Amino acid sequence: MSLPPPATSRAPAPPPARRGPPPPSGAPAAAAPSDPSRFVVTTGRVNAAQKVVIYGPGGIGKSSLARLAPNPVVLDIEGSTNRMDVARISGLETWNDLRECLRSPALDAYGTVVIDSATKAEEMAVAHTLATVKTDKQQQVASIEGYGFGKGYQHVYDTFLHLLVECDRHVRAGRNVVLVAHVCTAKVPNPMGDDFIRYEPRLQQTKEGKASIRNRVVEWSDHVLFVGYDVAAEDGKGIGGGTRTIFTKEQPTHIAKVREAGTAIEPRPYESENDGAIWPLLLQTTGGAS
């Protein structure tokens, strides 16, 4: 009687290689099973550091407004504060430079971390993505479009999320975070009528709305301030005297928001580069670090 041949053992197949940037470091790991009674319900306001976006045209005073936040240190990517008396860190040339700087203990002594600007940081994220992420066929590309339809923008989005993770660490440690951004105009689909144009932070936005760094940053922030010139239209011509306003509420002309806690913060004149009156209002309303 013949015996069947012995079964041959096979090594398990290796997991498929992951494509694209790794998940953001510092994301909370899955908690081990524990007693559900450890969750406690609380009420009332929570005093926490705040996440603020300031955007507007070049030269309008975004960096000046950011430096008036409580005890700031500016991660000056663009040299915007060279003529200001403010604590800064310069010489940040790459995406890794920026992320390593955000982990530096040199920032621990400050009450607010300012990134100037998030628009330039996104350009760094694009360069880092092109240098480190290959296509499905393990090829290097020279532009975001080289990854194939929509894939490059998703890769950049995934890379940029690392920056928000680093910022969240500072918020949890009690430091406010301010992202300064440049401005662009964007067409807004309007399901209730005609589409319209408005001002928005100049960050990655796709036509389908997927992989939108702009949307993610707006959702992530507690406050979005649009600094704009006061312009009126008469007979199809723009008329203004150079005065500025800090807008705190969204209108058809711009994105803005303030997470209020019973105290409304109305749009207010931005009268000079030393006018930091909005900061006590923001932090008093929401209990931010001061």
User: What's the average pLDDT block by block, 10 residues per block, for the chain (290 residues)?
Assistant: 50 54 59 82 88 96 96 96 95 97 97 97 97 93 91 96 98 97 94 94 89 96 96 79 93 92 82 91 64
Among 180, 164, 184, 182, which Cα is nearest to 172's? 164
Cis peptide before 143 (omega within 30 of 0): no
Provide the pairing of β-strand 112-116 with 176-181: parallel
From CA 54, how far away is CA 38, in angstroms rounded? 38
146 with 152: CB under 8 angstroms? yes
What is the per-residue pLDDT for 1?
A: 47
Q: What share of the chain is helix, strand, coil (3-state, %, to 5)?
A: 25, 20, 55
What is the per-residue pLDDT for 24?
A: 60
What is the per-residue pLDDT for 75?
A: 98
287 with 261: CB under 8 angstroms? yes
From CA 40, how far away is CA 273, in angstroms rounded? 45
What is the per-residue pLDDT for 205?
A: 94
From CA 266, how far away is CA 256, in angstroms rounded? 11
What is the per-residue pLDDT for 206?
A: 86
